[in-house]
Chain A
């Protein structure tokens, strides 16, 4: 080693990892797919909706799509634009995450307090008005059907293959109640994204706290913590979910929480192992010797250095949470009326014939989403590991 100063741009570790991540083809594919899903989920009411975006009746313009937005639609929109704004504003990462979380929380409170769309929605009215010729001008969404629009006005609509009906156009066919599959899939992407992020987020927070305590204090705390981990690992998530569904009814939020509180044990193990290793590192010992307070030692000096395996595990965890929800819905224990990819898969095999479009499209969506998260996880693992990073460069990346 020479004393000579090596000139290099100063980049924080997070930037380096991010740069290394987007250099990888796998990560790019995964990120593009996930961003596409986020866009689709956020703007679902403007992509697939029976309510027209804009229409003129009797010389009066109105936007039924906006008027019929539900609180959850507003929360998604608020979250999306808040994230966009915060991405451009400089600041500490954890401050921005907190700001986003509180912003979304505030938006949720506001939305449920202020927004009250009509409880009874008559989807047929627009088609009837159009047939009667009372609408002078109309702008529809690309897919003019809502997720819960069962097309009752067409009489005996049921399961139909893509583009089978002559007077209507269903690009991906319809499901057993007659709703448009494409519309339902677009709205279901919210559940896939939401359950992945929230369940994993809950698991990460619990796992980091418990794992961090075990790793730093060791001794009795470690022994008790590890027994707790073993107890939670022994709980079969699916049976717990079945039990809760039986007792408390079906709720997507309950599913998120249950998946979250049963899957933190893996993260706790990772954090514990990292902390056990980091505790002996010189810079942590030096921080103790400087008399720094415990939260600073734990969260400023140790956690950022132990984050790498956690991030990798989390991206795989998102994928498995999505699969858990799909499994539950496929078994018919998911949500009743709200669309979900697993529930559509269920319909593919329920009727006497095999309806391929109900298997291929939702199944493909699940596959690609899980695959995308796995690609990101894989690329992240390479990006945070300096050893594989070097070989990837050597291979000509």
Chain B
């Protein structure tokens, strides 16, 4: 069961490459496309790159999220019901979601519906009207979602950790959905203003992946989006990250629950940091590889304390969190936190083994064909390479970038990132005991 010397990735996989097409329309909209013929379907994935929650005014946390819940509920030409009919009749669900940096609209349709759905998507992005009646309906849904989050230990712990790591003065420290009080006060005018200020052609990237001839993709996209004009959007500036802190802990008792969620983390690095690939390997070894890496081995496999434990690295436009998550019985909270401490201490003291580095490289490189198997997978990949300026040949280059990382560099990343004496720890659930 030792890895074969030659490396298991089939020869030729990486040589052929995805080779997507990238075009920029005169108004600045970027179109990324890739024809596939696996199924008679197409995935459309639009990203509005400065319309994420970090664009919320400080006093209006949740505004971008509110936009994501209402942007597809009426345009200058179509009512919410007409949009619903258009989508439902073709079996298409449009998912609109918002992250820290981008607002995304994703739809998969049959190839025969491509023109119609792209036109509809363009209309939704460019001419939403945010009808007052829809704003009020969706407000009730958002308030309910926030109340559900308040009763969800996993959401409470992760929101609590972000607030602890970034502070209320940094947009990462504020909840994406906002608070009930703020949401109650958001009106149609605020949504329209957000749209005018943050959604414009030069901040839009549209990935089109599926069974459409490459020539037609651009024609249809140009027709749907080429006429759109909008102000140029300034690149956002970011407040400085909070300074260095010692270890901080917080317990949020939710005594009506069965299981306790632990969120344990640090600020990490930006995606553009040269150490990204070392961090990525470090994270894989720590809390991803196989069933949760070293953390999974210790906390789930050896100690039987948790059904889930893992780490996630969010190296983003700015340094996002490196977050460890675990769900444990309240009687195991202290032991689980100590075990996380111990695993971090070991990794930063001795670094990974040479074998771990080889295994994680093989895994991350070898998983590329799976990532790129489906239209939806390719579309997200194209959005990632565009957002972080990775180049259209990134799928071919990525294996080399990972292979070039040394064991020492992974160790260095662990030393930079994983010091338990600087960790922020939030525990939410049926636990009101000590936490150190």
Q: Do A and B come from one complex?
A: no
- B contacts, CB < 8 Å to A: none
- A contacts, CB < 8 Å to B: none
